[in-house]
Structure 1
């Protein structure tokens, strides 16, 4: 059946634009995690307050994503992407004018609204540009924007702060390419919904779309996996630079660049190779792609745990183990994202992605930085009391932050369990989706 599915002649050109927008998406949202220590010192913030910067962004991102995702299922996806890109770029520039902690958070929420428009519409487009047997590779290329955005941010933001003598400068510079790229999206050729499917697709309005999505068993496991994985990912992105500065005594520039290698460069390998391998496995076994992801996530949890067990003298071992663990964790995206396309009919894909992202970010991404920040403050005070001290020093802050990050391998392990359970129900749900499309196309 898949052999009769068609790929859009504009597929690769549009995918490149989607990749570039995704790169800017993650570049812009990563800036606060890199300048976290200068902000902490300027406004005298706790780790919980620092964590809430990321949490506020993800909360509004998740809430806004549901109506914007539904809009992407019934409206013009290219215009949604174009205007969303314009909005989040404009608010990124406004972040440079923040005068205190609360104004900074409010502007970050504006960035979140703009970025919430992007992922559901972009993933829906990919589903209509590429047939099922090529989607993992297409998603892998699209998701390369994540590690490349991180790499670009971690390798340049510290240098920009040093060059301009202010943490505000990167926000102004980052806004420019986003506004320019938005123009191109107004002129792309948007494919028809279901254009890449092997059977005809009904264009009738779907009643009770969210209930329809939640009636699929595999979708429940995928949603839970998104919650735990984003908890880990956002906690890492929020605090790894700070950990390297506090616990391993790195400068801002060195800590940012090392983080770029650990969570960024590794993604280039993980997503490129992972997408190719996942497509090959999918051709042999429908559920094999998700099982492959579960195995990789299990390995990731072990490697990250071993990395955190390294003392401050063994920073190289820490970096190598953490980097390898994060490399294999990227296979989550190349296995889970295509699976959503395979179990959801085209008219509901943006809604499904928005629902998935709502839980992924509201209960995962928002909780990760906040919970780790709270636990870091708690363990910092515990370290102080254990030492018999009366004041919190930078040494106690280093210990508290380091020990709080043991939550990361735990949540990655939980993700591997959920993805494994999704693989057990995937085949029946994928076959049901094909039957639904065949019957509706008659």
Structure 2
């Protein structure tokens, strides 16, 4: 592999905004806040699966579709909507998306049957489709490039924190107000954050104006755009490795509340709180493992991917062993460690893609990564697990789940072999 100098390793492809530290952290806080709203709206339904199953006589396959339809819509629409956001304005796009998913969350609480709920969940997916990519591009625009794995890890961890809050608070709200009240209050939280974002965040202070971004992108023909997104070997393999690893995260987020209810014999609220704790471990793993990767890669960029390979291998062994043990303390300990390292690939893989694409295209490149993550991981994870659960039982379905780590490890190893050479070539092209 070709080696990079320290300067080459840290030189961004694009321009970082020259903003005050206070404004950067304000942007970060509000963008993370909306991400919490995003995932609370997405995940609150998982805690009310038993209530919906009883009220509407649903199968696990139907419940799995309710859990998986949002990431499916995100996967289908994230690239075109992120492409539009780079041209129409990232701040304007974020406000419109958040308002839409909040409205659809409110509609979820009004659903009178499975069809209406599925439609509302589909619209939530439409609203959330480009938020993950556009929000991360906004954060990248106001912070140094060598923070990217850490920022990506925190961003991904915040998404899971939103899932945790959706489960924990959703369980309490459902117990106190019914499942409809849980959706209503989470929607109100989203509307409040939309107002704050409109008030404090301005496109002109994010490093590149919409006009300058259009001009830079306008200088690229279709072949250049496709090459930047799909013809760099390390980027392609990173897409695949990231998506395969998130199969596990997607399945665990959706099905752990049900797993603890069925096999630990816990009521809905307690199962939700227990699941929330384990999902929080996943979020912590994203942030902490991302920071470890940044530190390891400060002078050796390819170590980001080496860290991912280690995380994937560890998660395979820990989770495979955990789900072959009977319910009890030993299983819970192994499950906690397995979940922690399983999501550690999120931050470094996101940083790898960002480091190899121009900043003007960050919403779009993050969208392609989101597309792969959803189509390979976050959608099939809960849906396939639901199918296997109907046939074999949820406990057996979980035993098959860690096999996704093998696919991830192979793809990330191939990405690591190409990364230094690809990064050096991209830096050289950007300097011309």
TM above 0.5, yes or no, is: yes
CA deviations on 1:104-136 (whole Å, 9 max, x unpaired) are: 111100000111121121122223222221222
- Asked whether 1:348 is paired with 2:341, we answer no
CA distance in 2, matches of 1:69, 1:25: 16
Paired position in structure 1 for 2:409: 416
- Which residues of 2 match residues 33-432 of structure 1 at below 5 A? 33-164=46-177, 166-186=178-198, 187-190=200-203, 191-193=206-208, 202=216, 204-208=218-222, 209-268=225-284, 270-312=285-327, 314=328, 316-379=329-392, 400-432=393-425
Paired position in structure 2 for 1:389: none
CA distance in 2, matches of 1:276, 1:374: 36
| 1:362 to 1:210, Cα distance in 2 relative to 1, 3 A | same
CA distance in 1, matches of 2:47, 2:84: 33
Greater Cα offset, 114-123 or 51-60: 51-60
Greater Cα offset, 354-363 or 294-303: 354-363
Paired position in structure 2 for 1:8: 19
| 1:331 to 1:194, Cα distance in 2 relative to 1, 3 A | farther
| 1:203 to 1:41, Cα distance in 2 relative to 1, 3 A | closer
| 1:203 to 1:411, Cα distance in 2 relative to 1, 3 A | closer
Question: TM-score by structure 1 length?
Answer: 0.88
| 1:318 to 1:76, Cα distance in 2 relative to 1, 3 A | same
Greater Cα offset, 68-77 or 90-99: 68-77
CA distance in 2, matches of 1:125, 1:207: 24
Kept in 2: contact 1:72–1:120 (CA 8 A): no
Shift of 1:374: 1.2
CA distance in 2, matches of 1:138, 1:374: 35
Structure 2: runs of 5+ lacking an equivalent: 1-6
Shift of 1:194: 10
Paired position in structure 2 for 1:391: none
Name the SS of the counterpart of 1:232 in structure 2. Answer: helix
Kept in 1: contact 2:152–2:351 (CA 8 A): yes
Structure 1: runs of 5+ lacking an equivalent: 196-200, 380-399
CA distance in 1, matches of 2:151, 2:70: 27
CA deviations on 1:68-102 (whole Å, 9 max, x unpaired) are: 11012222101111110111011001101111111
Question: TM-score by structure 2 length?
Answer: 0.90
Structure 1 segments (4+ residues) deviating >3 Å? 1-8, 201-205
Tell me the number of residue pairs that the alignment of Structure 1 and Structure 2 aligns: 410
